[in-house]
Chain A
Amino acid sequence: MNRIFATKAGSNVYRLRIPWRPLSNDAAPLLSSQNAGNPEKESEAKQYDIAIVGGGMVGLALACSLASRPLTRHLNVAIIDSNPALGRKHFIKKEDLPDPRVSTITPATISFFKDIGAWQFVEQHRHAYFDKMQVWDYTGLSYAKYNARDADKEVLGCVVENKVLLSSLLSRVQETDLPKKIYPSRLNSMSILPNSSSSEVDSTLSMTALFTHGRLAKLELEDGNSLYAKLVVGADGGKSRVRELAGFRTTGWNYSQNAIICTVEHDVENHCAWQRFLPSGPLALLPIGDKFSNIVWTMSPKESSEFKSITEDNFLKAVNRALDYGYGPHPTPSILGSSDLFSWLKGGISKSANDCFEIPPKVIKLASERMAFPLSLRHANDYASKRVALIGDAAHTVHPLAGQGVNLGFGDASTLSSVISEGIAVGADIGEVSLLKKYEADRKPANVMMMAVLDGFQKAYSVDFGPLNILRAAAFHGAHHISPLKKSIISYASGETRLPLFA
């Protein structure tokens, strides 16, 4: 499993992915002579315990989580991200219109944020809790309404703009006394050598020597800086450079769908999350607060470029139509029988089972530009190898239809920091594969399960076929009326249980 990774073109000694063999004595003097020629560069490079490549929401969440644990709060952390916002304080103004890039935060993530001390910062900015959800499709055969009270909770989730999450995590990390340094640059190359022992007994403990013997990873940045780290965490998103450099293989496919996102305004407050499955993809309307809502409309790439370019008025009309009478009728309860049919399965009164179908509030104004991006599913075959671990979108990207993506990433950050803490408790080297594999063994099954569920939904809803439509409607109906099922769906979507239905 020990591999040799690609390095900058200038260094010719090591090549990509050759089978592991013990370093012979020939290589060591060659390397030391190379470095002997650059004494200044060597003194510039610094050593860190953990280098987090990618200072996005998930990367910063990992840093906050490490800062909040007693065993890891002394670790030296480097954060590598070229985003200039990380160098600024308070880059959000209260009067800003909501940014269309938002995330739906599950209750499990909210409690994670509270644990790491970042939620207090989120509450200072715009955020919207919602406790109701209505899901239906274009066939008009059925609908399902979820209420947080069905599962004895207060909220189903909270919708927060990504820039608010980022700034809250950044504020929290700046406030803690975790030894950290932000490198405003991009990762150029990374190398990790296989383990070997020094043949001298009194070896020097210079960083170069440690790197040569596989004890440290060496990172080179685009601005010329280099640094060494015991563990490199790839939190750099769906097109992760760390994942590419470390040679992780991925499985996945592109959905032939794009998503259009934008912010819209209503003339009434909206506290419910609405999602309607249309023939070419779901349309979701999520409350952001202050009478604003966020739209995520999934459709084919051709339609998405069309909708992006039509006038604002026409776009708003199309949205209202899609949420209301367009594509198919409203669902009425009488089509598949009333709730009495399932009364014997109810197992308790589901409060929202008697809620009628509602039409979402009308959209009156467009409050931001429309953005479109392609959707895909991607999953790294492994999350960890020697001295490297992947978290967040670098490890997995999913369909946005259930708002789960970033929540899986926060789950990764939380688990990785707890695994690192356990490793320090037993005096382990934090870059050891056996320790990092524990993180993978914990997160992979949960992530794969969620991806399978979401992918299943995506496939089930992209086919317009009579019997399948009826099946889907029956599923809606069942979820709406059978309260143990509804409870377990809400629990799973809230991030409280790891497996649906088997809790």
Chain B
Amino acid sequence: MASSMFLAQRRWFLSLPRNLSNARFFSALPSEHPVSVSGPQNNVGPESNKFEKASSAPSSLKEPELAKWDSEGPFKPLHKMNPTRLAFLRSTLCRHFRKDPLSARPFEGLRFIDVGCGGGILSEPLARMGATVTGIDAIEKNIKIARLHANLDPTTSTIEYCCTTAEKLVEEQRKFDAVIALEVIEHVADAAEFCKSLSALTAHEGATVVSTINRSMRSYATAIVAAEYLLQWLPKGTHQWSSFLTPEELTMILKRAGVDVKEMAGFVYNPLTGRWSLSDDISVNFIAYGTKEK
């Protein structure tokens, strides 16, 4: 029964235009619904109802949810990249907040928000590092999965998960010491508006961290051709190359939103060792850390 549900989801997915994905695949989670396109938005309704039905039967919830957190399963590339992203976050944020990098829980007392948290793969380690974490995602199913998984460890059960968008939180006038939006901005319709929301959520003297994929020839070859077609790490159509941002563009729109980009780094994958590492090479995946000016 579970497997037929799964197959049904796959077929349904292939007939949809991009962006509206099947929440199984993390990187296709938009934290914003595309405002300009009305067609796909309508499709969200029946599809999400289908999800609700699926999630009410506990046995069919198990398989996709466990797949998300199975580090050897379909999300393997993300799990592999996670420690590298966390290393960058730890190093820049410890410096920014002037915390001891040798402490086991350096972010104690700081409020972080993980925008587009998916299953919580970034939120949980941040909570283990002591931060008070809020994770938001536009897809209810992801929030459910994230909550169930986080409840299994006393250090992560304090994470606040909400199914909402950055805009709604801005309206509620929430503020966070660090706003983190990794691999999200390439899926939103209006990057500039999104950055304005991120900036509005950042408290005075806070930090904003955004990561995405560069729009370059190399990234076309790796993130689209290799990752989607050849290696099949991501389903076809997950990313649209034309909506990638170059580092210069990202810096500019963050600046316009009031965030000053201080550091940038790239993630490089070594196919021989199967490991990701931080580097100066920002031609494919890159991450930017900025501070709120005032």
Contacts and interface: CB of A to CB of B under 8 A. Distances in A.
Pair from one complex: yes
Interface of A: 1, 22, 24-25, 70-72, 74, 195-199, 201-203, 205, 210, 213, 215, 424-429, 432-434
B152 A197 contact: yes
A427 B127 contact: yes
A375 B145 CA distance: 52
Nearest to B91: A425
A185 B152 CA distance: 30
Contact of B62 (A197, A205, A426): A197
Interface of A is mostly: loop
B104 A199 contact: no
B225 interface: no
Nearest to B107: A427
4 closest residue pairs by CB, A with B = A427-B125, A427-B128, A426-B86, A70-B102
Contact of B69 (A25, A70, A195, A210): A195
Interface string B123-135: 0111111000000
A430 to B, nearest CB: 10
B43 interface: no
A21 B66 CA distance: 11
B4 interface: no
Contact of A426 (B70, B125, B149): B125
Interface string B68-110: 0111100000011011001100100000000000111000000
A160 B87 CA distance: 40
A424 B152 contact: no
Contacts of B147: 201
Given A1-B72, A198-B148, A215-B152, A424 B104 contact: yes
15 contacts: A1-B72, A22-B59, A22-B62, A70-B103, A195-B70, A196-B62, A198-B148, A198-B152, A199-B148, A202-B151, A203-B151, A205-B154, A210-B153, A429-B128, A434-B71
A198 B151 CA distance: 8
Nearest to B128: A427
Nearest to B72: A1
A71 B62 CA distance: 35
A59 to B, nearest CB: 23
Q: Which of A24, A197, A201, A424 has the most CB of B within 10 A?
A: A197
Contacts of B232: none
B87 A425 contact: yes
Given A195-B66, A427-B127, A434-B79, A203 B86 contact: no
B153 A429 contact: yes
A209 B62 CA distance: 17
B66 A196 contact: yes
A71 B66 contact: no
Given A201-B147, A434-B79, A427 B86 contact: yes
A197 B148 contact: yes
B271 interface: no
Interface of B: 58-59, 62-63, 65-66, 69-72, 79-80, 82-83, 86-87, 90, 102-104, 124-129, 145, 147-149, 151-154, 157
B102 A203 contact: no
Given A424-B104, A427-B86, A432-B71, 4 more contacts: A71-B104, A197-B148, A199-B58, A210-B153
A260 B125 CA distance: 52
Nearest to B84: A426
B65 A197 contact: yes
B176 to A, nearest CB: 18
A427 B127 CA distance: 8
A375 B66 CA distance: 45
B244 to A, nearest CB: 26
Contacts of A203: 151-152
Nearest to A201: B147
Contact of A201 (B70, B72, B128, B151): B151
A227 to B, nearest CB: 17
Nearest to A202: B151
A196 B58 CA distance: 12
A404 B124 CA distance: 41
Nearest to A23: B62
A429 B156 CA distance: 11
Nearest to B148: A197
Contacts of A210: 152-153
Contacts of B153: 210, 215, 429
A76 B247 CA distance: 44
A426 B94 CA distance: 12
A425 B80 CA distance: 16
B66 A197 contact: yes
A74 to B, nearest CB: 6
A46 to B, nearest CB: 15
A380 B129 CA distance: 34
Contacts of A70: 102-104
Contacts of A213: 152
B141 to A, nearest CB: 13
B104 A426 contact: no
Nearest to A426: B86
B79 A426 contact: no
Contacts of B103: 70-71
Contacts of B58: 25, 199
Contacts of B90: 425-426
A428 B79 CA distance: 11
A213 B71 CA distance: 16
Given A70-B102, A196-B62, A427 B129 contact: yes
A196 B149 CA distance: 9
B148 A201 contact: yes
Nearest to B58: A199
A11 B119 CA distance: 34
A215 B124 CA distance: 14
A201 B58 CA distance: 12
A196 B148 CA distance: 10
Contact of A427 (B71, B72, B124): B124
Contacts of B145: 197
A1 B70 CA distance: 11
A202 B148 CA distance: 9
Given A425-B90, A427-B126, A427-B127, A74 B104 contact: yes
Given A197-B152, A424-B104, A24 B71 contact: no
A210 B156 CA distance: 13
B127 to A, nearest CB: 7
B157 to A, nearest CB: 6
A255 B152 CA distance: 48
Nearest to B126: A427
Given A22-B66, A196-B66, A205-B157, A428 B83 contact: yes
A196 B63 CA distance: 10
A217 to B, nearest CB: 14
A118 B13 CA distance: 60
B83 A426 contact: yes
Nearest to A429: B153
Contacts of A201: 147-148, 151
Q: Which of A25, A215, A424, A426 has the most CB of B within 10 A?
A: A426
